[in-house]
Chain A
Amino acid sequence: MKFHTRRPTALAAILLTASVALTACGDDGGDGGDSGSGGDGGGALSMTMLPKNLGNPYFDTSTKGAEKAAEELGAEIEEVGPEAASPDAQVSYINTVAQQGQDALILSANDPEALCDAIDEARSADVKVVTFDADTNPECRDLFVNQATAEGIAAKQLELISEQIGGEGEIAILSASANATNQNAWIEMMETELAENPDYANIELVDTVYGDDEDQKSFDQTEALLQNHPDLKGIISPTTVGIAAAARYLSDSDAKGKVALTGLGTPNQMREYVENGTVESFALWNPEDLGFLATYAAAALVNGDISGEEGDTFEAGDLGEFEVGADGVVLLGEPFTFNADNIGDFDF
């Protein structure tokens, strides 16, 4: 009779345990056999793609390129990643890659320094590590596939604005936050180039403002720029949030068509403004090519075609041949210019 006095928690205990035990037994016959094989068997290459975060159209596009390359190479690739772009969240995924014994890890690093310990551990488990889009310290990884050099980005933006304003007049820069590393490096290079290059002798940089990569603030800063500098001929916004907000302001203002706008933007954000004539052209790299190249580079490392030394060369499908530069950097090429003619081909 004592059985009837069982307490609810006791019943819960039995039920919970039983249900798990049963499911465990039910699945036993599955794939238990191949645990630990880890892809060393000389079969297909196994690679993991770890972007800064998931659900980001930019990285969706680079993963698309990576998958295309993997298909050409007959490799297996899977994309994993955290919800938010923080370095500590990426560490777990890097650890997982080490546990799985994947052949290669292709990642965009959320921090140049913080990921190094985890990457070291993965590399000592024979994982080749290729960074793309955002690098870690050079000694941490095997290769970095650079989308564009700072010089290339700075030069491209000046070239575009100079073309659009006819080589003379006042220009201004609408940047991200005042301490954004990338943007500040580009701005510094543009300032030097403006001062030194005789082609730009008649172009004057009158102001640099910061929209903090917030849409509304960038919008307001654009309005302020136009009010403070009535003779302004062009704006360069080397940040995707800034250029889209500036374009939105310009397209509804009298300045549309009179003040040129260029910078770094994504086709999806800028499509409307290119089509309605607010923006003639803007630049960015093609993330699909970036993912594609990174995957080929990773495969070349795993197959032993290259070791990541300066001067090594490898083929990357349709993109042609690439050479490894100093510090294990592979450069995708010049920034890509988007304009009314080609913007329809892109979706990111």
Chain B
Amino acid sequence: MSTHKPTAPARTYAAYSAPLWRRVLLTRETAVIALTAAVILYSIVNVPNFDGPLTLKFLLQDIAPILLIALPMTLVIITGEIDLSVASIMGLSSVLLGVLHENGMSVPAAALLALLAGLACGALNGFLIAYVGLPSLAVTIGTLALFRGIAVGLLGTKAVTDFTEKWSDVATGTIGDSRIPLVIIPFAVLAVAFVVLLHFSTFGRGVYDIGLNDEAAHFTGVDVARTKFILFVLSGVVSAFAGIYFTLRFGSARGDNATGYELQVIAAVLLGGVSIFGGRGRLHGVLAGVVLIGVISSALRLESVTVNVTNIIVGCLLVASVILPSVLASTSSRLPRKAATPPESRPTQNAASAGV
């Protein structure tokens, strides 16, 4: 025993780790950000009117709901779970806002109740997944149908459109004379909060631990059930907020509002480098993923390309982003490794590169 001890500290964690500049620059997140920047530059040069004054405003308004929901969705997917019911929660909060407003409630009061409804939806998901132990895929497919059903049932096929002008103006307005929509303010606040939560808190370490191995996380003192429950509640509340924004921006509360948004959110999260198997991913990559999809759609619309082609391109990008790392992993595993690296160091390396 005692003879082993002096040899162990000879190689420290830092010795196995890549240099800082490489850990920062050569990551999946950097790749997505670079790709996004490249697409933006390309569009500014080549797409007519992309450099126009309205582009930034419309682009940010279009992607705002996805940016918002992508924040909690990233954490949910890092724990290895998924929430497919987000778009239905958007639809439900939209309908509640409409119905309550139509019956004489002011917009802020109705919005508050819609947020509470989102919290309740998230709590239902979270309870079934975290405490009953059901798989999130099954639970949220169920609640996707359930919440959407309630939404359509409440309002039927009609729409509520007579929202107070003042509040629609808030949803479509910009900060002062700039091109930045007002909705970016709550988003920025939430984004900072989620970055702190995921990357700079014990809770966030727990999120990664659960994604890598929830049993091990449990034994290291992470309250797995509580963590998952909180994440689904957050997802519900933020989705409801996105639904309220969506409703006020388009001035229309309908049961089928935001149908299909869950796929856009999940696509952006996966494109941003979050592993669908959990345990891996960072928020800045995800946000770049959302912007990338938004810029591609905007540029293609300006080029009058039909929406089907846009979907094909985003789909291919998504598939490529999932396949490419695996292909490269198998290629690079055939390349000679660092000679000095002893075999037992590999688990350490994987943990270091796990995006923790």
Contacts and interface: CB of A to CB of B under 8 A. Distances in A.
A319 interface: no
Given A86-B254, A87-B250, A20 B308 contact: no
A2 B23 CA distance: 13
Contact of B31 (A17, A27, A32, A78): A17
A17 B157 contact: no
Interface stretch (A97-105, A185-193, A286-294, A330-338): A97-105
B332 A7 contact: yes
A52 to B, nearest CB: 14
Contacts of B51: 35-36
B108 interface: no
A24 B49 contact: no
Contact of B308 (A34, A83, A92): A83
B38 interface: yes
A19 to B, nearest CB: 9
A9 interface: yes
B86 to A, nearest CB: 16
Residue among A30, A80, A93, A95 with most chain B CB within 10 A:
A95
Contacts of B42: 20, 23-24, 27
Contact of A35 (B50, B250, B324): B50
Given A5-B338, A99-B55, A87 B49 contact: no
B26 A95 contact: no
Chain A interface mostly: helix
Contact of B54 (A99, A113, A117): A99
Interface string A85-117: 011100111011011110000000001111011
Contacts of A114: 159, 161, 250-252
Contacts of A95: 54, 58, 62
Contacts of A100: 48-49, 302
A54 interface: yes
Given A20-B39, A99-B302, A8 B332 contact: yes
B251 A98 contact: no
Contacts, number: 170
Given A13-B31, A24-B41, A86 B256 contact: yes
Contacts of B331: 8, 11
B55 to A, nearest CB: 6
Interface in A1-31: 1-2, 4-17, 20-21, 23-24, 27-28, 30-31
A57 interface: no
Interface string A322-340: 0000000000000000000
Contacts of A83: 307-308
Contact of B252 (A4, A31, A113): A113
Nearest to A95: B58
B301 interface: yes
Contact of A16 (B45, B251, B324, B329): B324
A177 interface: yes
A8 B158 contact: no
A37 interface: yes
Contacts of A80: 301, 304, 306
Given A8-B328, A24-B41, 9 more contacts: A2-B338, A12-B328, A20-B42, A21-B38, A27-B42, A34-B48, A35-B49, A96-B302, A99-B50
Interface of A: 1-2, 4-17, 20-21, 23-24, 27-28, 30-32, 34-38, 54, 78, 80-84, 86-88, 91-93, 95-96, 98-101, 111-114, 116-117, 121, 125, 177, 179
Interface of B: 18, 22, 25-28, 30-31, 34-35, 38-39, 41-42, 45-52, 54-55, 58, 62, 156-159, 161-162, 168, 172, 246, 250-252, 254, 256-259, 297-298, 301-302, 304, 306-308, 324-325, 328-329, 331-332, 335-339, 341, 353
